[in-house]
């Protein structure tokens, strides 16, 4: 919890004025979250604004049918914009968040958030930028889900992991990435295997021919 802690030089903390950063680091609570930890669930009240120092947090949503879809991820030196709305409107979350890679997170109390918003142009700028990214992520997602074919989207997803030849993921988890059903993913993958483009194992996809993006 020292203001002298190290942090990456290209992230949002490095962008801030020195005194703003100091104030932030001393006023926020620092917590370590192990992989798999559920940060919040749909309906939970919000405790403060999380700022991810390291690791990755996945934000996803579950429909009435029980199906889930991954909305976006919060990476290094990114904030959980969703929390701002929950904090200010004092209502519950609509989505849930799970730690994907063990993370260190700063939790800014509402008062500190408002203090920094008032005091620091750079903090304001970073907050607005974070909101912009989230809005963008979600708009892209809406377009994908509404208009693109599942086989295309699956190939895109595989292409994003292009460098790894072996991907460790279950069909169920992949279905949740794409917001579809496990059976659909199984069938599409099987077809790719028939075409010789991947080999499948239990919880494993081996990419034989890299997917272009």
Q: Which helix (H) or strand (E) holds 105?
A: strand 96-108
Cβ at position 127, least distance to a copy of itself in Å: 8
Restricting to residues 113-172, name those near a copy of itself by CB under 8 A: 114, 117-118, 121, 124-125, 128-129, 131-136, 138-143, 145-148
Task: Say what the alpha-carbon torsion angle 132, 134, 136, 139 is, to the nearest 10 degrees.
Answer: -140
Q: What is the DSSP letter of 118?
A: H
Do 187 and 181 meet the contact criterion of CB atoms below 8 Å apart? no
> Between residues 36 and 201, which has the closer beta carbon with respect to DNA?
201
> Between residues 49 and 207, which has the closer beta carbon with respect to a copy of itself?
49
Residue 41 near which of DNA, a copy of itself, none (CB within 5-8 Å, type-dependent): none
By the rule CB under 8 A, 67 interacts with a copy of itself = yes
Given candidates 31, 56, 69, 200, which one binds a copy of itself under the rule CB under 8 A?
69
Residue 89 near which of a copy of itself, DNA, none (CB within 5-8 Å, type-dependent): a copy of itself
Cβ at position 36, least distance to DNA in Å: 13
CA distance 16 to 106: 15
By CB under 7 A, name the binding residues for DNA.
65, 67, 147, 149-151, 170-172, 179-184, 186-190, 193, 200-204
Cα first-last separation, the chain: 42
Do 83 and 113 meet the contact criterion of CB atoms below 8 Å apart? no
> Between residues 51 and 178, which has the closer beta carbon with respect to DNA?
178
DSSP β-ladder status, 49-62 and 68-74: antiparallel
Restricting to residues 75-114, name those near a copy of itself by CB under 8 A: 81-82, 84-86, 88-89, 94-95, 114
> Between residues 105 and 127, which has the closer beta carbon with respect to a copy of itself?
127
Residue 150 near which of DNA, a copy of itself, none (CB within 5-8 Å, type-dependent): DNA
Written as six digits, the tokens of 159 are 């292409």
Written as six digits, the tokens of 152 are 């295309």
> Between residues 55 and 179, which has the closer beta carbon with respect to a copy of itself?
179
CA distance 143 to 137: 10
CA distance 121 to 116: 9
């Amino acid at each position: 919890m020292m203001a002298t802690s190290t942090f990456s030089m290209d992230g949002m903390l490095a962008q801030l004025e020195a005194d703003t950063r100091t104030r932030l680091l001393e006023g926020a609570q620092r917590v370590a979250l192990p992989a798999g930890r559920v940060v919040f669930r749909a309906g939970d009240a919000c405790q403060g604004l999380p700022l991810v120092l390291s690791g990755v947090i996945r934000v996803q949503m579950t429909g009435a049918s029980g199906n889930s879809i991954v909305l976006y991820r919060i990476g290094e030196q990114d904030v959980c914009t969703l929390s701002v709305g929950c904090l200010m409107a004092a209502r519950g979350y609509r989505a849930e968040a799970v730690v994907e890679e063990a993370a260190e997170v700063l939790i800014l109390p509402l008062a500190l958030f408002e203090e920094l918003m008032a005091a620091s142009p750079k903090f304001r700028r970073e907050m607005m930028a974070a909101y912009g990214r989230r809005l963008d992520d979600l708009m892209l997602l809406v377009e994908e889900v509404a208009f693109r074919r599942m086989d295309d989207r699956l190939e895109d997803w595989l292409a994003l992991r292009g460098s790894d030849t072996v991907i460790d993921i279950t069909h169920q988890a992949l279905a949740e990435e794409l917001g579809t059903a496990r059976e659909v993913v199984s069938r599409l993958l099987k077809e790719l295997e028939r075409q010789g483009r991947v080999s499948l194992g239990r919880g494993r996809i081996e990419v034989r021919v890299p997917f272009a993006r």
